[in-house]
Structure 1
Amino acid sequence: MIRLLITGLVAYAAYRAARKVIDEVPDDFDPLPMPGDERTLRRQSAAMGVAPRR
């Protein structure tokens, strides 16, 4: 019973630490650009059997 309580406390502490780190990340940064251009993505889609959107 004590081990279950200790496990729960450790899990809760890890959850709170993760939430604190996530909340500290700023929301005003630009996402990373996708590597390659659209032509390579179209070729990959066609190779997988998916028709490209036009």
Structure 2
Amino acid sequence: MELNFDDKEVDDIKRALIIAMQSSDHWSMTPLFDRIEKILEKIEAQMN
């Protein structure tokens, strides 16, 4: 599976997730955010 995001898109996704995490009272979602963060790091590593 090939995913092509430019740096700005990755930054936008990260920023959106951070905002969602900060405004979320649903701490049960934290494991999901952690997984998404790992996925983003993997995508970023593949881009570099």
* Same fold, TM-score > 0.5, yes or no: no
Q: TM-score, normalised to structure 2's length?
A: 0.42
**TM-score normalised by the chain length of structure 1:** 0.38
